[in-house]
Amino acid sequence: MNNLEKYNATFIEVFGVTVEQLSDLTFQSISQWDSIGHMQLIASLEAAFEIMMDTDDLMDFNSYDRGKEIMNKYDIKI
Amino acid sequence: MTYFNHLDKYAEQIALVDESGADQTYAAILADGDEIAAKIGRRCLVFLNCSNCFESVTAYLGCLRAGVVPVLLSTSLDPALLNDLLDNYRPTFVFGPEAMFRGRDFREVFRFREYLLAATGYEPDYGLHDDLALMLTTSGSTGSPKLVRQSYRNIQANTESIIEYLGISLEDRAITTLPMHYTYGLSILNSHLASGARVILTEASVTDRAFWKLLREEQATTFGGVPYIYEMLKKLRFETMETPSLRYLTQAGGRLDAVLLRELCDICEDKGLRFIVMYGQTEATARMSWLPWERAREKSESIGLAIPGGRFWLADEEIEPIKEPGMVGELVYDGPNVTLGYAESRHDLARGDERGGRLFTGDLAKCDEEGFYYIVGRKKRFLKLFGSRINLDELENLLNREGYLCACTGSDDQLVIFFEGLDEQRAQVELFLSERLKLNRGGFKVRLIQAIPRNEAGKMLYAALPL
């Protein structure tokens, strides 16, 4: 699995969405991505990519697209 | 007398602040609340949509001051479940955002900011007992028809007690982290308004930068949190955040992991904050116990002591009090905040007090030599999902009604549902749980099972499930 596949699979697993929905996903755009879902997403991404995100990045991670940029800061090219 | 009839003395104080920084004095919310109540015009039942905004709080106060009985409902309640509640309780009015009325034949009576007051047209075929002040749901958004009936005396007694043990003053400013239809969120609102303090209203969560900005700008002195919120705070590295205005934090809504509690005690000590663990249930209005903060580290597994005005004891199988320390029994609470009882439909609303000030909590507990109580298990089949109580039998019935044969089990924040069905249907069950019942997806797992283990009488054998 490449990084994009891994990144996508994490969203799909945590939120139960389809791959088609991914590009539009933002924080609170679906009921599953609430604050609880957010922490689960972060925990799952951290586990999948073996990273630890900073508090600032955790709060800035507010969309599927923005998340890709944030992952970049941890040398995860997506 | 109840506090909401004595708020005029705080007239010039600021009562509420919202996310935009706009504020409302006590005089303003009392005048607005009384106007809403005047449009309602009589003692009757009202469904009140609850969000942390001026509208909901103002209408709530107006209702209580005028003897109107509100049912406090979650904004995220599914429309079909709201319909069931409407049919079952036939409120005379509903108050909420326009979306709450879409497709319904209700008549708009009054508009207050973004919310509407609408007459439902239902002819009341039921009575309201004189003591009945308000009703809360037992499990947030699952739409269970079972409501808890709270009296004016319940609310007043619990509010006074909370103010006393937390030492809430006019100077306090509580920022919301919980919805007001949830008993813990409501108790924070009540205890601060009764003190002439300020409540900072926000829907932003602690994972949102806007929450911390508001907390700093409005100089919040306190907030409350369920265990999950404190897990988030740890992950967010709360210890590194600038929060100079905070004075104390409270925790309730389920048991906090003892290791995390000790960590939080350390963090709060470094920040000069008090950390106060509490225990309660909607059936006891809100709070039953508190753990004095100086003892939190050494008694990290404890729910603490009964609140002022209340008393705990442990009942054995024959409901006789257990005297020896360390022996386990059902935790029983006696106090003026023990609610009247439940309602299953509108025909229960004429009923008076059915508990006589005594609540059998359903929790199994023990007590140490110093009188500190410890929860060790549960008598009834329920678990906590991110602070909300889920009755597992009720959930099974709901799933059954949809045609899904399931056995529900698991532990706090990890509900496991064994589904006796086809793999193709699993997604439907998951959708029902997340979309209709609004259960958080990460909080449950649906697992397929060929046949749910049962005894000869057909009763499910939960212990035999392959957990």
Structural domain includes residue A26: no
pLDDT in tens, B224-264: 999 989 999 999 999 999 999 999 999 999 889 889 999 99
Residue of A nearest to B229 (CA): A36
Q: How far is A17 from chain B (nearest CA, A)?
A: 11
First to last CA, chain B: 52
User: What is the rounded average pLDDT of the residues A11-17?
Assistant: 91
Residue A74 — pLDDT band, cuts 50, 70, 90? very high
Nearest to B174 by CA among B206, B215, B227, B209: B215
Q: For residue B155, give the nearest of B23, B260, B33, B4 by alpha carbon.
A: B4
- Domain containing A49 equals 3-20+31-73
ipTM: 0.82
**CB-CB neighbors (< 8 A) of B237 in chain A:** 55
pLDDT at B140: 59
* Domain B151-324+356-380 in CATH 3.40.50.2300: no
**Is B242 touching A (CB cutoff 8 A)?**
no
Structure confidence at residue A41 as a pLDDT band (50, 70, 90): very high
A39 found inside a domain: yes
Q: For position B143, what pLDDT does the model report?
A: 64
Say what the pTM is.
0.90
Count of domains forming chain A: 1
Asked if B440 lies within 8 A of A32 by C-beta distance, the reply is yes
Task: Note the CATH number of domain B382-464.
Answer: 3.30.300.30
- Among candidates B156, B149, B158, which has minimal Cα distance to B128? B149
Among the partner-chain residues A15, A35, A40, the one whose CB lies closest to the CB of B206 is A35
Suggest the residue from B441, B444, B446 to mutate for an interface test with chain A (most A CBs closer than 10 A).
B441
Chain A residue at shortest CA distance from B433: A32
Calculate the CA dihedral of residues B289, B293, B297, B300 and round it to 10 degrees: 10
CA distances from B330 to B145, B147, B252, B282, B389 (A): 26, 23, 20, 18, 18
**Are the Cβ atoms of B208 and A35 closer than 8 angstroms?**
yes
Residue A64, domain CATH:
1.10.1200
- CB nearest to A36's CB, from B236, B240, B440: B440
pLDDT at B142: 66
Distance CA B151, CA B170 (A): 25
pLDDT value, residue B141: 59
Identify the segments of chain B with pLDDT beneath 50.
none
3-state SS class at A70? helix
Q: Nearest chain A Cα to B426, which residue? A: A16
Q: Which helix (H) or strand (E) covers residue A44, if one does?
A: helix A35-49
Residue A48 within a domain: yes
| B414 touching A (Cβ < 8 Å) | no
Please provide residue B180's backbone torsions phi and psi, each rounded to the nearest 5 degrees. -80, -10
Tokens of A45: 């991404």
Q: Are A35 and B205 a contacting pair at CB < 8 A?
A: yes
